[in-house]
Structure 1
Amino acid sequence: MVGAVAMMLGATFAQAQESSTNRVDAMTDWSVFEGQNPRECWAVTTYKESVNTKDGRVVAVTRGEILLMVFFRPEAGVNGQVAFTGGYPFAQGSTVNVTVDGTELEMYTEGEWAWPATPQDDAKIVTAMKRGSNAVLTAVSSRGTTTKDTFSLLGFTAAVEDAETRCKS
């Protein structure tokens, strides 16, 4: 199931990147996308700051897309699923630490994707993000590099509520 979710998220975002015509709105630092077949809506943003370290030293690394998203896919029962891709394969068995204005939460990893363990954990992260100003996601790559990505939450609440509303109709 987890692998299927990772594949679905990867495929969904790849489709969004290929054609930006399904971007339907933008709220400050967040964008809203809507797709068909299957019906899905999501809010997404990229990082504002990224620091990569190895053995305690800042290092330059090449990474793919670094994105934080919240998905709605009514036919699959997905309602507000948080997902993060760090632009690299995560260390096997690792977790991503999510800190929103002092509140710490955790996401589990598989390949290049991370998400909360349960829908209840998704809801906790979304609630924290609605109340916060920044989200900091700290993870470890398969090569042992620690990444610390800071995301702005300006526009988050409006974007997530827009994505949710679009997928209810």
Structure 2
Amino acid sequence: MFVRRSVTALAIILASSGLANAQSPTRIEQFKAWGAYSYKAGNSTVCYVLSVPTAKEPASVNHGDIFFVVSQRPGQNISYEPQAMMGYPMKGDSKVKVTIDSKSFVMFVKESSAWVENAAEEPALVAAMKGGTNMTVEATSARGTATNYTYSLSGISAALQKIQNCK
């Protein structure tokens, strides 16, 4: 099930990044709640860590496949870029709120994905993930449904360390 979801996530990542000629992902290793993956895109390698929520609210709606990804793309000079990926389109003018302990981060929305609004805060979000236990992600669907996801951060540090030297 987790492998199927990670392949689905990769397809979404490839579609959103325009890398149609990329190869299928290779799972490097699983670190508790987080998996480390890589794939070739042209002449470069993309590495990422991925997890699925441990809880989804409200329970009465179909959320689709939900992921949180942190990618490393040395060929594009991108290091540890967090991304929330929803299984549905989000409200266009909404924001996604990520909370770890007492720290909150705002993400901007584009269709079914969200990225840190202020790219300078990406390292702080990743550092908070490494030091935290749980992370919540709040989003609003295009239909106006408020959603909330809880992720375990168990294994995130080891997974990020594994992709640190992605080449």
Bin for the TM-score computed over the shorter chain? 0.7 to 0.9
1:11 aligns with 2:12: no
Q: Which ranges of structure 2 fall in alignment gaps of 5 or more residues? A: 1-10
1:3 alignment counterpart: none
1:61 alignment counterpart: 61
2:121 alignment counterpart: 121
1:85 alignment counterpart: 85
1:75 alignment counterpart: 75
1 CA distance for matches of 2:80 and 2:89?
Answer: 24
CA shift, 1:10, in A, is: 4.6
CA shift, 1:142, in A, is: 0.3
CA shift, 1:12, in A, is: 7.5
CA shift, 1:95, in A, is: 0.6
Q: What does the per-residue CA deviation read over 1:10-45, in whole Å, with 9 as the maximum and x for residues that have no partner?
A: 537999xx95x6111010110000111241000000
Q: Which runs of 4+ in 1 moved over 3 A?
A: 12-15
2:152 alignment counterpart: 152
Aligned pairs, how many?
A: 152
1:51 aligns with 2:57: yes
CA shift, 1:62, in A, is: 1.4
Matches of residues 24-43 of structure 1 in structure 2 within 5 Å? 24-37=28-41, 38-43=44-49
1 CA distance for matches of 2:16 and 2:56?
Answer: 24
RMSD (Å) for aligned C-alpha atoms? 2.3
1 CA distance for matches of 2:103 and 2:14?
Answer: 28
Instruction: Compute the TM-score of the two structures, normalised by the length of structure 1.
Output: 0.82
AA matched with 1:33 = Y
2 CA distance for matches of 1:99 and 1:163?
Answer: 24
User: What SS is found at the alignment partner of 2:129?
Assistant: helix
User: What SS is found at the alignment partner of 1:70?
Assistant: strand
2 CA distance for matches of 1:35 and 1:163?
Answer: 12
2 CA distance for matches of 1:133 and 1:9?
Answer: 26
- Of Structure 1 and Structure 2, which has the larger fraction of its residues in helix? 1
